[in-house]
Amino acid sequence: MDDQWLSQLPIKGITKAIPVGGGDVNQAFRLETKDDNYFLLVQPNTKADFYAGEIAGLKAFEKADVLAPRVLGNGQINGDAYLVLNYLESGSGDQSDLGELVAKLHQHYSPNGQFGFDLPYVSNDESFDNSWTDSWSELFVDHRLDRLRDALMKKHLWNDHDAEKYQQAREVILDKLSKHESEPSLLHGDLWGGNYMFLTDGRPALIDPASFYGDREFDLGITTVFGGFDADFYAAYNAVYPLDPGANERLNFYRLYYLMVHTNKFGTMYKSSADSAMTQILEQK
């Protein structure tokens, strides 16, 4: 990151730009000034609106009083999109507090009573239509699962047998969701173990959202795929916002979604796990 590029940011007096982990999508830097630190995300050769969805999610979190990074600046420099956030110093904390924070997030509902978001989800691998709908099944199955099925078939990561098994699982999902009363909660949208942190004072914070309004079980299903959330997290969540009967079965739907996302993104290493998730769904008939 050269000085000429950095000088165009809406931050004065930058003394260092240190590369840090920012996931597998962005270049990320810790910016140091005499008085403060900042977090910079960069997407080369991309328009500034690449970050529009993330910005909208972070602002929704702020409105819901859910601790997350604050948006300080966004734009384009020399053809590169950037997003500047305040820098959160990492510490340690209690999973119970994290469970309560996620439950608090999920108790903020769509302002129009519908499922979706004002902006689509956009990434380098796959984008999803978040158009508002009265039906959770339409948003989740038609606009997400089916789109992933099509992407996996197009990339030859799935064959006809996989597509047929998916179709059978899809019927179970639609049947079960038709009997479940979903509410359009504010979701993180990508709540795996790498997208939360504890600050130096022990408070939990949520980072890197892919937010929209959907069934809260979507977020919880994702938490179960790669770990990072312990029994204290789920107990605290359920104490604040108890789950509905049958939730444990429905979490399989969202595990399948997340494993399909990873198969699409990383290839066949996740294919067998997605197949196992479909098998578990079919056992729920």
Model confidence pLDDT, tens digit, residues 180-205: 999 999 999 999 999 999 999 999 99
Q: Which of 69, 86, 103 is the last residue of a domain?
A: 86
- Same structural domain, 59 and 116: no
- Same structural domain, 40 and 76: yes
Q: Which of 33, 64, 86 is the last residue of a domain?
A: 86
- Residues 184 and 133: their CA atoms lie apart, in Å, by 10
pLDDT at 64 over 80: yes
Residue 183 has what pLDDT?
A: 97
- Same structural domain, 265 and 176: yes
Domain of residue 57 covers 3-86
- Same structural domain, 156 and 262: yes
Residue 23 has what pLDDT?
A: 59
* Banded model confidence at residue 21, pLDDT cuts 50, 70, 90: confident
**Alpha helix segments (H runs only) across 64-158:** 95-106, 136-137, 146-154
- Same structural domain, 235 and 210: yes
Q: Give the pLDDT mean for 196-215.
A: 97
Query: Hunting for tokens 């820098």 — which residue is that?
Result: 87
- Same structural domain, 210 and 127: yes
* Banded model confidence at residue 177, pLDDT cuts 50, 70, 90: very high
Q: Give the pLDDT mean for 202-222.
A: 97
- Same structural domain, 159 and 262: yes
Query: What would you measure as the largest C-alpha separation in the chain, in angstroms?
Result: 62
Buried b (16+ CB within 10 A) or exposed e, 223-253: bbbeebbeeebbebbeeebeeeeebeebbbb
Residue 125 has what pLDDT?
A: 76
- Same structural domain, 111 and 213: yes
List the CATH number of the domain containing 19.
3.30.200.20
Catalytic residue among 80, 162, 190, 219: 190
Number of domain units in the chain: 2
Across all residues in the chain, what is the average pLDDT?
A: 95
| CA-derived radius of gyration, the chain | 20
| pLDDT per position as a tens digit, 103-145 | 999 999 999 999 999 999 988 778 899 999 999 999 999 999 9
DSSP calls for 58-69: HHHHHHTT---P
- Same structural domain, 43 and 116: no
pLDDT at 60 over 70: yes
Is there a catalytic annotation at residue 190? yes
pLDDT at 22 over 70: no
* Banded model confidence at residue 147, pLDDT cuts 50, 70, 90: very high
Q: Give the pLDDT mean for 85-107.
A: 97
Q: Which of 86, 109, 125 is the last residue of a domain?
A: 86
Query: Hunting for tokens 């994702």 — which residue is that?
Result: 222
